[in-house]
């Protein structure tokens, strides 16, 4: 816990520490761990294990993988942990206005909502989708990690809706603070925030 | 050339639709509760503007492009959409376009319709649209005038012909549509019953070889599309088809009689998307059937089948830079791919190479900001199947092998 507090004080992006956050961090950053494992295997010359890491870790589908060049520059073991947590905290979570009755959502439904295909919640309330500007790292990471698609795909689909008249794009806000404010004041609103930017005015929607 | 442009029925229909849309919006805003009228989230306005420079070594494309090049390729569009109710949306787009000598330079209502989604839940939704609707053909027809969505400066001409664009663009009528979602798969469908827009002289030139004395009218036609989509577009497969019915009515002193023309294209589309790559391919067969009394048909054929396909790869180097390569092939008549028969029968006035085209294209994209885009493209072309007659009135002065270079600057909001 001391290490957590030290990290939090020195790397302000890290979320307040909770025991399960470490487990999540390990799960989310399995790519990093696998990478370190391979390097360690090479270092102590167990080539066979290095090659068999797919068997140990499973085939990765993570979009963001750390480059070798970054890893080479990491000298201090604490820096590795800091990096682990900072990349973890970039994957934003889905939040909704408290008026939304459901507490979980499937990734497929979420993708359809952010693709502006589903326009109403099951109880009939209209959905208002908020996004950060494209090219924003939080936006890009959210699209990749939480929706499982590439930002350019989604943007092209929005353009198709706009310029054929068959739909409307989501509303783009400038910052996460504005996002939280707009979602809190718009019934039926949905968006995403990094965990450190949550408060009671909005509600977390668990992705299954 | 365009003596009867002013008194055509379709123009009245244009105006009628425009007025309906405009007054509909005004009345809607006045009658609706004030909360809707001021709710800016539900009314959106978007637009685009693009300007291209075209340079060819032989043959003209988009104006007098040989020699110094041409700037006669401009697209301006503005659209608005209003989600009046969760289930109802009103949309309209005005378009002004200059493309060499193709088309008229008037502001046109590109689309304007009411969309009512009568059923929707998490797994599927279905709805209906009324008004002027974009024809759901292939992957790009719905948005063919928006440079930002096109994969290059010029769309693959084998399928998205410039010279018949009005016929393919949008139609006046109704459409049923829907979407089914099961896990990561999406199946969308559209079925349209409408009257094609044929008021353009260009349709006549494309179908009957020249601006004839008579008049082409659109009859009730059908257009349908089925799109399968995996994981938000990682794989996209589509089949679209149409049965466009037209009627030729002879003018005074016209040697030809009246008759029906039926155009039945079938387009198969496939696209694969990864983070860096987009691979696209479309294959089309185009069937034409001409009525017996129409004499303006090459080879006096009553049945012609054309064939088109292209393969295209786009690569995103970074967010700002991208590259594209494409090979695009069109045959006007699959029974006479080289055009030899036609050339022999017309004693050389219609050259054989006007019956096919093979186009190699490489292009680059630079997008300094989400609103601005610059594209450049080089084509090496063999054949003149899709060369606009309007820019090359004397067909004996066209050339088989030609090159085309084009640069486009586009802005959107």
Q: Would you call B370 and A112 a contact, using CB atoms and an 8 Å cutoff?
A: no
Output the six-digit token pair for A47.
């080539």
Output the six-digit token pair for B366.
């630079």
Q: How many CB atoms lie within 10 A of CB B65?
A: 25
Q: Would you call A165 and B184 a contact, using CB atoms and an 8 Å cutoff?
A: no
CATH code of domain A93-207: 3.40.190.10
Q: How many CB atoms lie within 10 A of CB B45?
A: 11
Contacts of B192 in chain A (CB under 8 A): none
pLDDT band at B136 (very low <50, low <70, confident <90, very high): very high
When pLDDT is averaged across residues B12-23 and rounded to a whole number, the result is 51
Contact A112, A129 (CB under 8 A): no
For residue A47, the model assigns a pLDDT of 58
Q: Does residue B4 fall inside a structural domain?
A: no
When pLDDT is averaged across residues B331-338 and rounded to a whole number, the result is 90
Alpha carbon of residue A19 to chain centroid = 19
Q: At what angle do helices A2-10 and A77-90 cross, to 10 degrees?
A: 70
pLDDT over 50 at B6, yes or no: no
Contacts of B227 in chain A (CB under 8 A): none
Please count the CA atoms within 13 angstroms of the CA of B239 that sit on its side-chain side.
2
**Rounded to an integer, what distance in angstroms lies between the CA atom of residue B126 and that of residue A61?**
34
pLDDT over 80 at A2, yes or no: no
Residues B353-409: tens digit of each pLDDT: 989 999 999 999 999 988 999 999 999 999 999 988 888 888 788 999 999 999 999
DSSP 8-state secondary structure symbol assigned to residue A144: I
Q: Does residue B223 fall inside a structural domain?
A: yes
Pairing outcome for strands B372-382 and B356-369: antiparallel
DSSP 8-state secondary structure symbol assigned to residue B239: E
Of A15 and B302, more confident = B302
Contact A174, A136 (CB under 8 A): no
Please count the CA atoms within 13 angstroms of the CA of B313 that sit on its side-chain side.
6
Measured between its terminal Cα atoms, the distance across chain B in Å is 37
**Rounded to an integer, what distance in angstroms lies between the CA atom of residue A150 and that of residue A133?**
15
DSSP 8-state secondary structure symbol assigned to residue B275: S
For residue A121, the model assigns a pLDDT of 92
Helix, strand, coil percent values for chain B (each to nearest 5):
15, 50, 30
Q: Torsion-angle region of residue B253: left (phi > 0), alpha (psi -120 to 50) or beta? A: left
Residues 6+ apart with CB under 8 A from B88: B114, B115, B116, B117
The minimal CB distance from B120 to the residues A120, A148, A159 is found for A120
**Where do runs of H (alpha helix) occur along B170-256?**
201-208
Count CB pairs under 8 A between chains A and B.
Answer: 100
Contact B21, B89 (CB under 8 A): no
Contact A135, A142 (CB under 8 A): no
Contacts of B319 in chain A (CB under 8 A): 135
**Rounded to an integer, what distance in angstroms lies between the CA atom of residue B100 and that of residue A48?**
66
Looking at every residue in chain A, the average pLDDT score rounds to: 75
Give CA angle at A63 (A58, A69), nearest 5°: 95
- Give SS3 for B195: strand
The residue range of the domain holding B82 is 9-412
Residues A159-208: tens digit of each pLDDT: 999 999 999 999 999 999 999 999 999 999 999 998 888 888 999 998 88
**Rounded to an integer, what distance in angstroms lies between the CA atom of residue B376 and that of residue A191?**
37
Residue of B nearest to A186 (CA): B41
Residues 6+ apart with CB under 8 A from B20: B112, B131
Percent of residues, chain B, with pLDDT higher than 90: 48
* Min Cα separation A131/chain B (Å): 13
Contact B251, B242 (CB under 8 A): no
The minimal CB distance from A159 to the residues B83, B115, B148 is found for B148
Of B209 and B126, more confident = B126
For residue B29, the model assigns a pLDDT of 47
Contact B225, B139 (CB under 8 A): no
Q: Which of A151, A163, A170, A172 to mutate to test the interface with B (most CBs of B within 10 A)?
A: A163
Q: Does residue B155 fall inside a structural domain?
A: yes
Q: Would you call B149 and A165 a contact, using CB atoms and an 8 Å cutoff?
A: no
Residues B139-198: tens digit of each pLDDT: 999 888 899 999 999 999 999 887 677 777 888 999 999 999 998 899 999 999 998 877
* Min Cα separation A71/chain B (Å): 22
- Give SS3 for B67: coil
pLDDT over 90 at B248, yes or no: no
**Rounded to an integer, what distance in angstroms lies between the CA atom of residue B172 and that of residue A102?**
41
Contact B171, B221 (CB under 8 A): yes
Pairing outcome for strands A128-131 and A171-172: parallel
Residues A49-101: tens digit of each pLDDT: 555 544 444 443 333 334 444 454 455 555 555 555 544 446 789 999 999 98
Helix, strand, coil percent values for chain A (each to nearest 5):
50, 10, 35
Q: Which residues pair with B321 in a beta bridge?
A: B366
pLDDT over 60 at B74, yes or no: yes
Q: Does residue B1 fall inside a structural domain?
A: no
In this structure, is the dihedral angle defined by the CA atoms of residues A55, A57, A58 and A59, taken in order, positive or negative? negative
**Rounded to an integer, what distance in angstroms lies between the CA atom of residue B377 and that of residue A126?**
43
For residue A29, the model assigns a pLDDT of 60
Q: Which A residues 44-83 touch B at CB under 8 Å?
A: 63
**Rounded to an integer, what distance in angstroms lies between the CA atom of residue A158 and that of residue A161?**
5
Residues B266-301: tens digit of each pLDDT: 999 999 998 889 999 999 999 988 887 777 766 566
CATH number of the domain at B115, please.
2.40.160.10
Tokens 């700002």 label which residue?
Answer: B320
For residue B139, the model assigns a pLDDT of 93
**Rounded to an integer, what distance in angstroms lies between the CA atom of residue B367 and that of residue A130?**
24
pLDDT over 80 at B5, yes or no: no
Count of the separate structural domains present in chain B: 1
Looking at every residue in chain B, the average pLDDT score rounds to: 85
**Rounded to an integer, what distance in angstroms lies between the CA atom of residue B53 and that of residue B409?**
9
Tokens 């270092």 label which residue?
Answer: A43
Asked if A137 reaches chain B (Cβ–Cβ under 8 Å), the answer is: no
Asked if A187 reaches chain B (Cβ–Cβ under 8 Å), the answer is: no
Domain span(s) for CATH 3.40.190.10 in chain A: 93-207
- Give SS3 for B204: helix
Contacts of B111 in chain A (CB under 8 A): 164-165
Contacts of B77 in chain A (CB under 8 A): 163
Contacts of A153 in chain B (CB under 8 A): 232-234, 273
Contact B67, B109 (CB under 8 A): no
**Rounded to an integer, what distance in angstroms lies between the CA atom of residue B42 and that of residue B89?**
9
Percent of residues, chain B, with pLDDT higher than 70: 87
């Amino acid at each position: 816990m001391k290490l957590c507090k030290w990290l939090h004080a020195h790397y302000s992006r890290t979320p307040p520490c909770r025991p399960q956050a470490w487990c999540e961090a390990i799960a989310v950053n399995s790519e990093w761990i696998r990478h370190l494992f391979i390097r360690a295997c090479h270092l102590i010359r167990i080539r066979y294990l290095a090659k068999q890491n797919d068997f140990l870790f499973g085939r990765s589908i993570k979009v963001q993988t750390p480059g070798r060049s970054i890893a080479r520059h990491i000298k201090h073991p604490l820096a590795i942990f800091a990096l682990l947590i900072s990349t973890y905290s970039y994957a934003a979570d889905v939040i909704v206005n408290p008026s939304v009755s459901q507490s979980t959502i499937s990734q497929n439904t979420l993708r359809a909502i952010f693709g502006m295909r589903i326009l109403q919640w099951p109880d009939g309330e209209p959905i208002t989708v908020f996004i950060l500007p494209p090219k924003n790292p939080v936006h890009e990471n959210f699209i990749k990690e939480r929706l499982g698609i590439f930002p350019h795909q989604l943007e092209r689909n929005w353009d198709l809706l706009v310029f054929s008249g068959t739909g409307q794009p989501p509303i783009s806000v400038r910052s996460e603070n504005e996002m939280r404010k707009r979602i809190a004041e718009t019934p039926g609103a949905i968006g995403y925030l990094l965990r450190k930017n949550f408060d009671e005015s909005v509600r977390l929607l668990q992705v299954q | 050339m365009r003596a009867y442009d002013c008194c055509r029925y379709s123009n009245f229909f244009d105006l009628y639709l425009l007025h309906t849309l405009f007054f509909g919006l005004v009345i809607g805003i006045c009658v609706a509760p004030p909360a809707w009228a001021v709710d800016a989230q539900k009314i959106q306005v978007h637009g685009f503007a693009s300007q291209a420079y075209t340079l060819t070594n032989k043959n003209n494309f988009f104006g007098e492009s040989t020699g110094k090049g041409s700037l006669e390729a401009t697209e301006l569009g503005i659209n608005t959409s209003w989600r009046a109710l969760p289930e109802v949306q009103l949309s309209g787009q005005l378009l002004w376009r200059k493309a060499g000598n193709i088309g008229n330079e008037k502001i046109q209502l590109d689309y304007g319709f009411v969309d009512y989604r009568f059923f929707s839940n998490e797994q599927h939704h279905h709805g209906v649209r009324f008004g002027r609707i974009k024809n759901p053909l292939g992957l790009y027809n719905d948005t063919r005038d928006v440079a930002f969505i096109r994969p290059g400066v010029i769309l693959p001409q084998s399928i998205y012909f410039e010279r018949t664009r009005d016929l393919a663009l949008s139609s006046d009528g109704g459409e049923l549509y829907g979407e089914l979602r099961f896990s990561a798969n999406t199946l969308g469908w559209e079925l349209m019953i409408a009257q094609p827009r044929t008021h353009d002289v260009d349709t006549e030139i494309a179908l009957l070889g020249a601006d004839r004395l008579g008049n082409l009218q659109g009859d009730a036609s059908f257009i349908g599309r089925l799109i399968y989509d995996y994981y938000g577009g990682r794989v996209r497969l589509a089949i679209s088809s149409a049965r466009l019915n037209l009627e030729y009515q002879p003018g005074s002193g016209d040697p030809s009689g009246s008759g029906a023309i039926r155009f039945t294209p079938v387009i198969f589309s496939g696209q694969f998307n990864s983070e860096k790559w987009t691979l696209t391919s479309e294959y089309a067969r185009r069937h034409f059937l001409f009525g017996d009394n129409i004499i303006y048909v090459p080879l006096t054929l009553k049945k012609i089948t054309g064939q088109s396909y292209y393969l295209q790869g786009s690569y995103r180097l970074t967010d700002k830079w991208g590259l594209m390569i494409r090979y695009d092939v069109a045959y006007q008549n699959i029974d006479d791919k080289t055009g030899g028969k036609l050339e022999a029968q017309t004693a050389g006035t219609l050259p054989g190479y006007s019956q096919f085209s093979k186009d190699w294209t490489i292009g680059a994209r630079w997008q300094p900001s989400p609103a601005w885009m610059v594209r450049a493209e080089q084509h090496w072309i063999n054949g003149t199947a899709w060369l606009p007659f309007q820019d090359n009135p004397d067909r004996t002065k066209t050339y088989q092998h030609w090159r085309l270079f084009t640069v486009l600057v586009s802005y959107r909001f």
